[in-house]
Structure 1
Amino acid sequence: MKAQISTEPGGPETLRLVEMDDPHPKDNQVLLRIHATGVNYPDALIIRDLYQAKPPRPFAPGSEMAGEIVAVGKSVSGFAIGDRVIGMSDNGGFATHACLRPDQLIKIPADMPFDEAACFILTYGTSYHALKDRACLSEGETILILGAAGGVGVAAIELAKSMGARVIAAVSSEEKAQFCTEIGADLTLIYKRNMDREDQKAFSKQIKELAGPDGVDVVYDAVGGNYSEPAFRSLSWNGRFLVVGFPSGIPKMPLNLPLLKSAQILGVFWGAWTYHDPKGHAQNTQDLFELYSAGKLKPRITASFPLEKAAEALVLLESRKALGKIVVTMG
């Protein structure tokens, strides 16, 4: 097998392409021949030792992979050689093979391409859990999505529209705004990078002008930093603020704001939730595949890299210039 290995903490430049013997699954594992791996923000954090999971080195980053089972441990049930599956793990995806447990696998529809499957569960699972289970988004409500052109942001646009909501997509460039409009956003808003206090006030005012006098019902914040407070100030009475991620930094929110608006700040930790509520996760996964089969969801893959250039995929991700999803393919 081949793999992009992290041997020391650092950025994408520290990854090393190595060749080694194919792994052998334990009794409770399957061996997955990986065809494609989605590139996600935690992959850039985990190689720097900045993610909550810190696997022992050496390891391959990559948490969301898709492929076919080529070997099955003797105590495994429910899966067989030849099954097409999505695999979820903290790491191991930037490789041609991986050993995974049955509880880390999800079977995929026969007509779902491996690259789309590798870019599906993490982003759509996160956004569906956020909108359905945490915010309880309702038909006719208005949602503001920060970082709307990224992987989870695009998923949030499609899911919010499928739930009958009005979507305001907030992004950092005209190109990203056009991209979100094509996906289905009703309105777009371009924000400045590195906002100062006056920029924050202007941003909040722009949101309210688009949303209307009552403000937005839900904020989906996948950006953090100086963007969070002005977005929160645009919330309506009883609004809900979803904390999804903070690539721009962890914000400091004045706690008088949720009091004055009777608003809720809701954390979204999809990965942990899947373990705490496996039945809910199974139902959400079924819902997502049904929406995919109905043509209402489609991973927007705008960049693909071979395994040999996986570091370049992470560099593109960290540049925040990527639209939709980035995938690494194994050939």
Structure 2
Amino acid sequence: MKAIICQQFGPPDQLLLTDLPSPKAGKGQVVIRVEACGVNFPDTLIIEGKYQFKPPFPFSPGGEVSGTITEVGEGVSRLKVGDAVFSMTGHGGFAEEVVADAATTLPMPPTMDFVTAASTMYTYGTSYHALKDRANLQPGETMLVMGAAGGVGLAAVQLGVLMGARVIAAASSEEKLAVCRLMGATETINYTTENLRDRIKVLTAGAGVDVVYDPVGDRYAEPAIRSLAWRGRYLVVGFAAGDIPSIPLNLALLKGASIVGVFWGAFAQREPAMSLQNFNQILSWIGSGQLQQHIYKLYTLAEAPDALRDLMERRVVGKAVIKL
């Protein structure tokens, strides 16, 4: 099978397209013939050795796939050969075939296409867990979404609107903010040309925001926390801007605020029943057309390094997908 492999930690241009033996399913596993693979920020970290999980070399990046099962391992009864599925694999998805745990593999609804299926788990799974389980977002509350034009950011914008919140989207260009408005954001902030705190004060009449959804971190985190309302919740989703910020904890004290971690992958493994319940709701919204992924571009397998580079350089609006 063809696969993109990482032989040493480094930038995307060091990745290699090569031939590898087809994988075999072990106990509790399935083999999936990959039709599409989502491109996510953790993929850029894993190839540079910056992610919390470091697979042994050589490995393929790509943690979110859709495709057709070609083999089932011992103990797998819920899934069968020929099933169209989507799966959270962690890595290995930039390949024609991948091994996946049956526990993190779900049947695709009949009306869902492979590209949509491969761009659902990380973005909507992360964002819905964050807003529902970690922030307890309520109708009528105001939420600020940082990095709102990225994959998880746009998912948070859409879900926040569906959950009845007033959504303020913050991103780095007018082009990106235009997409956020199309997805339902009530107001927008360009944080490369506007002062984040000042603009939030104006938009909230000084009251601040109830929830901050932040996959960006770096220098934007502290002004976002300073912009929380009383009993506000700041969601730590990721650090796409680079540095992990150091936060003065007196800010949480003074605002009666919560700084809440969001690690969807661990949640899905530790609390599978609740994770499945969340996904049933997400799939219902997708099926009814209330959620619709914004696909930036489809890439071939050979173009996977380009997809990672586009993501790292902030060109991707919404979701990039490898289509095999």
Q: Normalising to structure 2: TM-score of the pair?
A: 0.97
Counterparts of 1:232-243 in structure 2, within 5 Å, are 232-243=225-236
2:201 match: 208
Q: Describe the shift of the 1:75–1:277 C-alpha distance in structure 2 as closer, same or farther (beyond 3 A).
A: closer
- Deviation of 1:27 (Å): 4.3
1:196 match: none
**Contact conserved, 2:215 with 2:238, CA < 8 A, in 1?**
yes
CA deviation string 1:232-264 (max 9, x = no partner): 111111111001011221111111111111110
| Aligned mate of 2:285, from 267, 282, 291 | 291
Q: Does 1:65 align with 2:65?
A: yes
1:181 match: 181
Q: Does 1:328 align with 2:322?
A: yes
Task: Tell me the distance in 2 between the aligned counterparts of 1:136 and 1:27.
Answer: 37
Task: Tell me the distance in 2 between the aligned counterparts of 1:276 and 1:286.
Answer: 18
Task: Tell me the distance in 1 between the aligned counterparts of 2:189 and 2:48.
Answer: 32
Q: Which amino acid aligns with 2:29?
A: Q
CA deviation string 1:11-51 (max 9, x = no partner): 10111001123222234322100000000011011011110
Counterparts of 1:146-295 in structure 2, within 5 Å, are 146-192=146-192, 202-248=195-241, 249-295=243-289
Q: Which amino acid aligns with 2:7?
A: T
Identity %: 48
- Deviating more after overlay: 285-294 vs 167-176: 285-294
Q: Which amino acid aligns with 1:139?
A: P
Task: Tell me the distance in 2 between the aligned counterparts of 1:158 and 1:178.
Answer: 14
CA deviation string 1:252-277 (max 9, x = no partner): 11111111111100000111111221
Task: Tell me the distance in 2 between the aligned counterparts of 1:145 and 1:222.
Answer: 9
**Contact conserved, 2:89 with 2:101, CA < 8 A, in 1?**
no
Task: Tell me the distance in 2 between the aligned counterparts of 1:101 and 1:224.
Answer: 31
2:102 match: 102
Q: Normalising to structure 1: TM-score of the pair?
A: 0.95
**Contact conserved, 2:146 with 2:215, CA < 8 A, in 1?**
yes
**Contact conserved, 2:89 with 2:99, CA < 8 A, in 1?**
no
- Deviation of 1:278 (Å): 1.2
SS at match of 2:289: coil
- Deviation of 1:144 (Å): 0.3
Task: Tell me the distance in 2 between the aligned counterparts of 1:39 and 1:217.
Answer: 30
Gaps of 5+ in 2: none
Task: Tell me the distance in 2 between the aligned counterparts of 1:220 and 1:263.
Answer: 14
Q: CA RMSD, aligned part only?
A: 1.2
Q: Which amino acid aligns with 1:276?
A: R
**Contact conserved, 2:200 with 2:206, CA < 8 A, in 1?**
no
Task: Tell me the distance in 1 between the aligned counterparts of 2:269 and 2:306.
Answer: 32
1:46 match: 46
- Deviation of 1:74 (Å): 4.2
Gaps of 5+ in 1: 194-198
1:29 match: 29
Task: Tell me the distance in 1 between the aligned counterparts of 2:222 and 2:99.
Answer: 43
Q: Which amino acid aligns with 1:77?
A: S
Task: Tell me the distance in 2 between the aligned counterparts of 1:26 and 1:277.
Answer: 23
CA deviation string 1:187-212 (max 9, x = no partner): 0010118xxxxx7xx32011111122
**Contact conserved, 2:5 with 2:61, CA < 8 A, in 1?**
yes
- Deviation of 1:129 (Å): 0.5
CA deviation string 1:42-64 (max 9, x = no partner): 10110111100100000000000
Q: Describe the shift of the 1:27–1:238 C-alpha distance in structure 2 as closer, same or farther (beyond 3 A).
A: closer
**Contact conserved, 1:208 with 1:216, CA < 8 A, in 2?**
no
CA deviation string 1:127-172 (max 9, x = no partner): 0000000000000000000000000000001100000000000010
How many equivalent pairs are there? 323
Task: Tell me the distance in 1 between the aligned counterparts of 2:29 and 2:41.
Answer: 27
Task: Tell me the distance in 1 between the aligned counterparts of 2:47 and 2:16.
Answer: 12
SS at match of 2:309: helix
- Deviation of 1:108 (Å): 1.3
